[in-house]
Amino acid sequence: MVVESTEDETTGKFNQASRVFHRRFDMPANENLVNYYSSSFWREMPRQG
């Protein structure tokens, strides 16, 4: 399916970015790079949390 190949491609790009990030910032292998976060708006200001 096309969807699966797109997901595989996205996962591959994320894994590659994660390896580069770990090398660049000399991070231990047990630390994970997270590509998501939650946020919301409180009145007119964005708020992370």
Residue-level pLDDT at 2: 46
pLDDT band at 5 (very low <50, low <70, confident <90, very high): low
Q: Residues 14, 15, 18, 23: what is their CA dihedral angle, to the nearest 10 degrees?
A: -140
> What is the 8-class DSSP label of residue 48?
E
User: Where exactly are the structural domains of the chain?
Assistant: 2-48
Of 26, 5, 4, 8, the residue nearest 16 (C-alpha): 8
Is pLDDT at 17 greater than 80 in this prediction? yes
Does residue 6 carry a pLDDT above 90? Answer: no
Distances (CA, A) of 25 to 8, 19, 33: 26, 10, 11
Q: Residue 10 has what pLDDT?
A: 79
pLDDT at 16: 92
Per-residue pLDDT tens digits for 18-38: 899 999 999 998 998 887 777
DSSP state of 37: -
